[in-house]
């Protein structure tokens, strides 16, 4: 079995006991107390160390389903935004800087990406085929993408990452992510279809119908997580799943972002049962599939700010709350001391 143990329960209990003894009414710091205890349990250390090495890894790829009119923006935005991230000028860069986190980006399947360092294209697999027509990936492409994500996680852990975040980039990617949530939770297109980058009512209805088409095309093959991922996912999504399983297998916790990351987290927890206990949801995006996937995993989002950007942006923003929770557990006096 691939199952992993949850973060250290003894250290978690120690953290709660410390928090209860601090100079405040018991429980008065609310969710901050359980977040600090979760970090402590993941680190195996109470009080937990401040999170000074947080890394966002953005997985980029093309989604040929976008040609079916399920995004409000053209596919050309994807390579342009890879350059935006490399230049430090995307939304995620600004938010990551505000909490001291770093951002890197890997192209898993962007068709026309030029003028980027070789390292960015090191794990290129290929664009995802249109999921309502055919499987997004071949079995071989799926395995290469999963392995790429695992290698990226291994390198980050080796370099000292304390907390990891998978970010997404790829016009059309809310469609495969919604399809994966529907297939994982046995839902219909209309349950999970969201406006993504800003679809109007007509396009939203088209997206829901396309999702149903994709789900019925795949049928019972979607029961198996690998087949589900190859049929309805993409190289960038599969790599992020491999990144998540790679992180938790190495004892490094994750903050989950919006719809795409939440869909990936569901897959990661199926491939490595117990992975969910090494995750917190950084935020809840406006996509309906995001809340559904997070509820399925039992993850309560830290923030709910009406964000719908992706890139890991909501997750990285919540790192400020995590570090505040850690500071409280480390610095507040004991009631017995004062």
Ligand X SMILES: Cc1cc2ncn([C@H]3O[C@H](COP(=O)(O)O)[C@@H](O)[C@H]3O)c2cc1C
Ligand Y SMILES: O=C(O)c1cccnc1
Read off the tokens for 326: 């850690």
Q: Which does 290 bind (CB under 5 to 8 A by kind): ligand Y, ligand X, none?
A: ligand Y
Site for ligand Y in 277-306 (CB under 6 A): 285, 287, 290
CA separation for the pair 159, 58 (Å, rounded): 17
Handedness of CA 216, 274, 145, 80 (dihedral sign): positive
Q: Report, in Å, the least distance between residue 70 CB and ligand Y.
A: 12
Residue from 102, 104, 197, 227 in contact with ligand Y (CB under 6 A): 197
| Stretch of residues binding ligand X (CB under 6 A), selected from 19-27, 39-47, 164-172, 213-221 | 164-172
16 dihedral zone (left: phi>0; alpha: psi -120 to 50; beta) = alpha
Q: Which does 172 bind (CB under 5 to 8 A by kind): ligand Y, ligand X, none?
A: ligand X
Read off the tokens for 94: 């600004």
259 binds ligand Y (CB under 6 A): yes
Helices 319-331, 31-43: axis angle to 10 degrees equals: 90
Residue from 311, 315, 316, 328 in contact with ligand X (CB under 6 A): 311
Q: Report, in Å, the least distance between residue 26 CB and ligand X.
A: 42
- Quote the distance between the C-alpha of residue 246 and its chain's center: 13
Q: Report, in Å, the least distance between residue 184 CB and ligand X.
A: 18
Q: Report, in Å, the least distance between residue 284 CB and ligand X.
A: 16
180 contact partners, CB below 8 Å, separation of at least 6 = 228, 229, 232, 233, 237, 263, 264, 266, 267
- Fill in the DSSP letter of residue 129: P
- Residues marked as catalytic: 311
Q: Report, in Å, the least distance between residue 200 CB and ligand X.
A: 12
168 binds ligand X (CB under 6 A): yes
CA separation for the pair 306, 234 (Å, rounded): 26
Read off the tokens for 107: 């192209």
Residue from 77, 116, 204, 271 in contact with ligand X (CB under 6 A): 77
Neighbours of 23 (CB within 10 A): 11
Site for ligand Y in 308-337 (CB under 6 A): 308-310
Q: Which residue is nearest to ligand Y (CB)?
A: 258
314 binds ligand X (CB under 6 A): no
Q: Report, in Å, the least distance between residue 15 CB and ligand Y.
A: 30
Contacts 24+ apart (CB under 8 A), 156-159: 156/55, 156/57, 156/247, 156/252, 157/246, 157/247, 157/250, 157/252
175 binds ligand X (CB under 6 A): yes
Q: Which does 287 bind (CB under 5 to 8 A by kind): ligand X, ligand Y, none?
A: ligand Y
Site for ligand Y in 124-183 (CB under 6 A): 174
Q: Which residues bind ligand Y (CB under 6 A)?
A: 174, 196-197, 257-260, 285, 287, 290, 308-310
Q: Which residues bind ligand X (CB under 6 A)?
A: 71-73, 77, 81, 168-175, 196-197, 309-311
């Amino acid at each position: 079995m691939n199952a992993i143990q949850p973060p250290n329960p003894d250290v978690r209990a120690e953290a709660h006991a410390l928090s209860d003894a601090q100079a405040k009414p018991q429980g008065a710091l609310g969710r901050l107390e359980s977040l600090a205890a979760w970090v402590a349990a993941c680190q195996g250390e109470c009080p937990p160390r401040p999170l000074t090495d947080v890394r966002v890894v953005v997985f980029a790829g093309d989604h040929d389903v976008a040609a079916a009119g399920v995004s409000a923006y053209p596919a050309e935005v994807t390579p342009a935004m890879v350059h935006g991230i490399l230049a430090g000028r995307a939304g995620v860069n600004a938010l990551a800087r505000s909490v001291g986190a770093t951002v890197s980006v890997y192209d898993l399947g962007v068709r026309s990406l030029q003028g980027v360092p070789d390292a960015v294209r090191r794990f290129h697999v290929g664009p995802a085929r249109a999921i309502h027509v055919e499987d997004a990936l071949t079995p071989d492409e799926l395995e290469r993408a999963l392995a790429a994500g695992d290698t990226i996680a291994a390198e980050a852990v080796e370099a000292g990452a304390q907390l990891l975040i998978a970010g997404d980039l790829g016009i059309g990617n809310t469609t495969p992510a919604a399809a994966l949530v529907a297939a994982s939770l046995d839902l219909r297109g209309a349950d999970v279809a969201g406006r993504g980058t800003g679809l109007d009512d007509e396009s939203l209805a088209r997206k829901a119908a396309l999702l149903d088409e994709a789900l019925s095309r795949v049928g019972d093959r979607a029961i198996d997580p690998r087949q589900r991922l190859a049929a309805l996912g993409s190289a960038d999504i599969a790599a992020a799943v491999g990144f998540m399983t790679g992180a938790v297998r190495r004892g490094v916790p994750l903050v989950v972002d919006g719809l795409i990351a939440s869909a990936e987290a569901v897959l990661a927890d199926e491939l490595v049962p117990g992975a969910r206990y090494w995750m917190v949801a950084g935020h809840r995006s406006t996509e309906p599939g995001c809340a559904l996937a997070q509820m399925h995993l039992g993850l309560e989002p830290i923030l709910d700010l009406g964000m719908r950007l992706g890139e890991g942006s909501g997750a990285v923003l919540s790192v400020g709350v995590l570090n505040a929770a850690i500071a409280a557990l480390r610095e507040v006096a004991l009631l017995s001391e004062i």
